[in-house]
Amino acid sequence: MIILAIESSCDDTGAALIEDGKSILSNILSSQDEVHRRYGGVVPELASRRHLENIVPVIRGALDEAQRSLDDVEGVAVTRGPGLVGSLLVGIMTAKAIAHAKDLPLVGVNHLMGHLLAIFAEQEVAFPLIGMVASGGHTSLYLVEGFTAFRPLGRTRDDAAGEAFDKVAKYLGLGYPGGMAIEHLARSGDPEAISFPRAYIAKDSLDFSFSGIKTAVVNYVRANPPSDNGMADIAASFQEAVVDVLVDKIIWAAQRNKVDRVVVSGGVASNNRLRERLTQEGKGPGVQAYFPSPFLCRDNAAMIGVAGYHLLKEGRKDEMDMSALSRWPLGEDESGMKKGPDSCPR
Ligand code: KG4
Ligand code: ZN
């Protein structure tokens, strides 16, 4: 079954063709980073306008790269939420138009489910597994018992991990988005130079909090204006503090649920320090860590196609009155009406 997948929840416009929920025939992404960079974060109005300009060329690009036409497509999957409502609507309206014109089944996909299943476009991982989404909008842990079975274990109470990277990078003058810039600078710094706080919240909590560490960096820089290698030490020490908490809580979640496989996705999962640490430390308690390749970690449409395939296979089709859900906690309330964490705050 070939699915056309569309992703436009935040600031990247994506379209992909996916076969049988695992083979990527094409995965096209048009990034808006250069539009939002000068504002230091995503401007929702500009994002939706850019999606409108990009969506048709991106879908054409996905069809061309896969050397297929719309006549080969057997289903349409689109991100329904969570995300910026104006951005989501561009993808949803386009998906509806194609599904209607070609008489194809349509399914709305939870963006977080897409991140959690991205790995399956590259390799098989047996269930149950612990899944983490660490991105600019989310830091959430799940027990994943099947392709459509997610039990939430913890999530951030304030800033997402990627948001903390972005805010600290902005404060240090490293540009936007900041995760990659911090990782790059951290390579020449000492991760033990400064002891930034690790917020574990409570001993048994699998929730996260990253706003304190951001404030600690600001306070540190005010008190100790950096010189020479100071910036690199700050970047390395900040990164280490975030990675420490992520690694510890992922391993706790695995141990507590007696699961030895963990899958980490979302933009922050491309961080090499996180990958190294989890791969090394996971070995002790017998945790095997899996990461999608960096392009599949970030927002992309292929992951929406993987998720959409499994939903359609289960008969979870949506109708033409499907709306966007700016908040949609995965695994808590399928109606999506429950209050969840803010989406796409950067
Ligand atoms: O998944 P993603 O592309 O979009 C969202 O759904 O948010 O994630 C983007 C986030 C940004 O906050 C970015 O700074 C962060 O992922 N990020 C990283 C790295 N690469 C991207 N954070 C830490 N280290 C990286 N190498
Ligand atoms: Zn995302």
Pocket, ligand 1, Cβ cutoff 6 A: 10, 135-137, 162-163, 165-166, 177-180, 183, 266-268, 270-271, 298-299, 346
* Per-residue pLDDT band at 37 (split at 50, 70, 90): confident
How many Å lie between the centroid of ligand 2 and the Cα of residue 302? 12
Residue 111 has a pLDDT of: 98
- Rounded to 5°, angle at Cα 128 from 289 and 263: 25
Q: How far is CA 143 from CA 150, 189, 226, 256, in A?
A: 6, 35, 42, 11
pLDDT in tens, 260-274: 999 999 999 999 999
How many Å lie between the centroid of ligand 2 and the Cα of residue 87? 13
How many Å lie between the centroid of ligand 1 and the Cα of residue 268? 4
List the residue whose alpha carbon is closest to atom 8 of ligand 1: 267
More confident residue, 287 or 343: 287
Q: What is the pTM of this model?
A: 0.94
Residue 335 pLDDT greater than 80, yes or no = no
User: Dihedral (C-alpha) 335, 338, 341, 346: value to the nearest 10 degrees?
Assistant: 60
Residue type, 146: G
Ligand 1, pocket-test mutation among 135, 242, 243, 300, most atoms within 8 A of CB: 135
pLDDT in tens, 6-35: 999 998 999 999 999 999 999 999 987 887
pLDDT in tens, 275-305: 999 998 766 657 899 999 999 999 999 999 9
- Over the Cα atoms of the chain, what is R_g? 20
Q: Are 268 and 134 in contact (CB under 8 A)?
A: yes
Interacting residues of 15 by C-beta distance below 8 A, sequence separation 6+: 4, 5, 6, 7, 26, 28, 55, 58, 59, 61, 62, 301
Residue whose structure tokens are 């476009």: 121
How many Å lie between the centroid of ligand 1 and the Cα of residue 304? 18
Task: List the shell of residues around ion ligand 2, using CB closer than 5 Å.
Answer: 135, 299
Task: Please state, for a pLDDT cut of 90, what percent of the chain lies above it.
Answer: 84
Q: How far is CA 227 from CA 128, 221, 232, 233, 240, in A?
A: 48, 10, 10, 10, 20
Q: Please report which ligand is nearest the Cα atom of 163.
A: 1
